[in-house]
Structure 1
């Protein structure tokens, strides 16, 4: 289980549910060994970072597409790729 969280924590774990599973598993004394406690904390921090990145990217994309829609409504006659049009 530790290997899964350590390896996957830096790449694919990016949901609140996965963080909860991680914290529940390693919240138990029997799942905490002195020699792996640092790896556990690194994996936890990676999961938190992935969650933060995902939230930021979702917000960024939402705002970007809202801006594009508003811009296209204000300037409907302006073609976005006019500057590359070959006539």
Structure 2
């Protein structure tokens, strides 16, 4: 019996991991920029990036709770950016 393409578990898990990894890469890029050049523009870029990516990561976390630490790290980075702190890079554990 052939599996239905949408039900191929390996491909689904691989897609989810790729989305998480891409989200982390994008968040870390803006965090690095903010930490190098703390200007209003880089602050806004960082906040925009994190607020755009966090709902996507949250949807994934609702189904795959193994990625919850990524969401928590993004929330802490956003909090740090909003109080003019130095956000830490996001890690995939």
The TM-score normalised by the length of structure 2 is: 0.38
Q: Considering Cα pairs closer than 8 Å and 6+ residues apart, tell me whether 1 or 2 has the greater RCO.
A: 1
Query: Considering only CA atoms, is the larger Rg found in Structure 1 or Structure 2?
Result: 1
